[in-house]
Copies of this chain bind each other. A is one copy, B any other.
Amino acid sequence: MTIKEVSEKYDISQDTLRYYERIGMIPPVTRSESGIRNYTEKDLGWVELAKCMRSAGLPVEAMIEYVRLTQEGDVTIPARLKLLKEQRESLLEQKEKIDATLERLNYKIGRYEIAAKTGKLTWEQEK
């Protein structure tokens, strides 16, 4: 699969795909003899994983480390497990923050819906 096709399939720019590879966020992609990228199923798996992690807001640094560890073979399995658990933890924390903010937004929206009808605010202060 060419970089163009991968770019369209996953809605990631070609520049970003090359960037991810360059920084080691995905392992080196398979190439033709002339050096042109030819993504295999395996390569696509990495691209998709990278996209998923980034979309959740996990840092590229974490993915780079994970990829690096996988390159070093089975001896790094415990390290990879640790890394994955840390990332899970940080996502759970982020989710907490989002939930707290959602509650707050819902409260404010409720207030504003009343206010939008009466044309006046029914409270004094932002909170």
Contact = CB atoms under 8 A, between A and B. Distances in A.
Given A97-B55, A101-B58, A119-B74, A109 B125 contact: no
A4 interface: no
Secondary structure at the A interface, as helix, strand, loop or mixed, is: helix
Interface in A6-34: none
Interface residues of A, number: 47
Given A100-B52, A126-B46, A88 B106 contact: yes
A81 B113 CA distance: 7
A37 interface: no
B109 A77 contact: no
A45 B123 CA distance: 13
